[in-house]
């Protein structure tokens, strides 16, 4: 069913839990996430990467996710992730996205604020003042869509960038939230996109500092690789939304690698192979839903 992302997340926080968000490059994965959410009786968030939304097919995917979300028996939000391009944002919202992460985190502080405000004004002009805006303060290392770099050395398992690009400065939080009017705030507290090099070291002290300075829900990106016993602490720090991508892809790709030959031999049984893809993503989503509501 349709939901406001901020309402969904705030409601979860009031129950001591957080809402998982999963990057969907395709409809099979989205079906799996929604299936897991319905089975758990909890809401979830379907994320669309900006590179996906920047193509006509990506906009059709958003429209399909919109239909899937509306027909679900639990609240499902469709969010455009890490967006900076005003045209991509406008198109994604027209196609059915109900929330946007307006990501000016790589910009100078004042430019980050301007970007969020300009997007808000543009959406209002589009008659879509209802779109929920997440903003990001602090730089996250790594690439959202790639687990590691493309050269051979990086394929050995290092992250795209080894060190966090810059922790969120908690002293900026109150001003940033007030001036952007953001409804959720993505933070950089030692989390990274892609695979972690070594053990993730989340800076709970920084997160605590941020949490006391704003009432809006915080968002943790790059949750893949963070142990469950760490993630369960999130909601206590006002982290109401946790984004997953890399591990979900790892699981799906492992299934495809293991099963493709047998399914090709089995009369080129793509239907059954997609069933296994769905099962892998669904198990992952179910585990994340359970972890965040523990
Ligand atoms: Zn992210």
Full domain range(s) for residue 40 = 5-292
82 CA → ligand 1 middle, Å: 6
| Phi, psi (rounded to 5 degrees) for 38 | -65, -40
187 CA → ligand 1 middle, Å: 10
Name the catalytic one among 6, 70, 81, 266: 81
269 CA → ligand 1 middle, Å: 34
Q: How many CB atoms lie within 10 A of CB 56?
A: 9
Nearest alpha carbon to residue 174 among 182, 164, 166: 182
How many separate domains does the chain show? Answer: 1
Residue 158's CATH number: 3.20.20.70
263 CA → ligand 1 middle, Å: 34
- Angle at CA of residue 224, ends 218 and 226, nearest 5°: 75
Is 130 part of the annotated catalytic residue set? Answer: no
How many residues are there in the chain?
294
> What pLDDT shows up at residue 149?
62
The residues with which 166 forms a beta bridge, in sequence order, are 139
261 CA → ligand 1 middle, Å: 33
Full-model pTM: 0.93
Contacts of 266 (CB under 8 A, 6+ apart): 272
Distances (CA, A) of 86 to 2, 103, 106, 124, 145: 24, 11, 16, 13, 20
pLDDT tens, per residue, the chain with 294 residues: 999 999 999 999 999 999 999 999 999 999 999 999 999 999 999 999 999 999 999 999 999 999 999 999 999 999 999 999 999 999 999 999 999 999 999 999 999 999 999 999 999 999 999 999 999 999 887 887 887 764 444 444 444 444 445 899 999 999 999 999 999 999 999 898 988 888 888 899 999 999 999 999 999 998 888 989 888 988 999 999 999 999 999 999 999 999 999 999 999 999 999 999 999 999 999 999 999 998
185 CA → ligand 1 middle, Å: 12
Contacts of 123 (CB under 8 A, 6+ apart): 89, 90, 93, 100, 129, 131, 133
């Amino acid at each position: 069913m349709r939901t406001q992302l901020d309402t969904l997340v705030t409601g979860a926080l009031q129950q001591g839990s957080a809402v998982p968000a999963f990057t969907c490059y395709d409809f099979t994965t989205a079906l799996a996430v929604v299936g897991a959410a319905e089975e758990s009786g909890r809401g979830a968030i379907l994320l669309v990467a900006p590179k996906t939304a920047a193509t006509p097919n990506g906009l059709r995917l958003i429209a399909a996710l919109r239909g899937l979300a509306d027909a679900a028996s639990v609240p499902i939000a469709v969010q455009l992730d890490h967006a900076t391009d005003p045209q991509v944002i406008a198109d994604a919202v027209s196609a059915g996205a109900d929330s946007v992460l307006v990501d000016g985190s790589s910009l100078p502080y004042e430019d980050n604020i301007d970007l969020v405000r300009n997007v808000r004004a543009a959406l209002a002009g589009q008659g879509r003042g209802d779109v929920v805006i997440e903003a990001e303060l602090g730089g996250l290392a790594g690439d959202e869509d790639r687990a590691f770099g493309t050269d051979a050395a990086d394929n050995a398992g290092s992250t795209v960038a080894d060190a966090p690009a810059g922790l969120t400065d908690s002293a900026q939080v109150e001003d940033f939230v007030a001036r952007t009017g953001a409804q959720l705030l993505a933070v950089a507290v030692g989390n990274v996109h892609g695979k972690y090099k070594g053990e993730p070291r989340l800076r709970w002290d920084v997160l605590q500092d941020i949490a006391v300075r704003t009432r809006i829900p915080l968002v943790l990106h790059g949750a893949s690789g963070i142990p469950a016993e760490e993630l369960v602490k999130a909601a206590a720090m006002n982290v109401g939304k946790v984004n997953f991508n890399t591990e979900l892809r790892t699981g799906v790709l492992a299934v495809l690698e293991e099963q493709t030959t047998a399914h090709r031999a089995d009369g080129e049984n793509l239907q059954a192979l997609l069933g296994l893809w769905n099962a892998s993503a669904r198990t992952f989503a179910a585990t994340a839903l359970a972890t965040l509501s523990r």
